[in-house]
């Protein structure tokens, strides 16, 4: 796990956010052991108390669980990945809508821009796949 810290947000929150992203992307699976607090503090070069706070918060959020003598694990819940993905997607969409409205755009303009961006992204993805197929042959 690699975290590029942003000084505008508390480090413990950035650690939590990175765990959420890793779970949502499937890089960490339910039931998978996560590195110890000490290991993460050394790897991320942060105060162990900061990592301890992040782990405590993640456990309270239901993201992780600690088994005495065995370590910390991603909570073994089959709905966890879907739930986190949905939460993070909702947060991203809410932020997008707030930003667009702050720019003074009407809902129909926001929808049109989002649709255009999706079409452009789909076209770029198709071109990448075609290039990848062409290079594999």
pLDDT at 134: 66
Its pTM stands at 0.76
Average pLDDT estimate for 102-121: 94
In tens, the pLDDT along 34-77 reads 999 999 999 999 999 999 999 999 999 999 999 999 999 999 99
Residue 137 has pLDDT above 70, yes or no: no
Residue 1 has pLDDT above 90, yes or no: no
Provide the phi-psi class of 106: left if phi over 0, else alpha when psi is between -120 and 50, else beta.
beta
Nearest to 61 by CA among 51, 75, 41: 75
Q: Give the single-character DSSP code of 57.
A: H
């Amino acid at each position: 796990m690699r975290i590029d810290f942003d000084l505008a947000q508390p480090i413990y929150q950035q650690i939590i956010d990175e765990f959420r992203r890793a779970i949502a992307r499937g890089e960490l699976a339910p039931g998978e052991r996560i590195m110890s607090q000490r290991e993460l503090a050394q790897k991320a070069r942060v105060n162990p108390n900061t990592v301890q706070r992040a782990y405590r918060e993640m456990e309270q959020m239901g993201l992780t669980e600690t088994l005495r003598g065995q370590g910390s694990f991603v909570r073994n819940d089959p709905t966890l990945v879907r739930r986190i993905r949905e939460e993070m997607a909702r947060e991203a969409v809410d932020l997008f809508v707030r930003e667009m409205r702050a720019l003074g755009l009407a809902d129909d303009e926001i929808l049109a821009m989002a649709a255009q961006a999706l079409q452009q992204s789909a076209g770029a993805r198709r071109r990448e796949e075609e290039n990848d197929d062409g290079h594999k042959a």
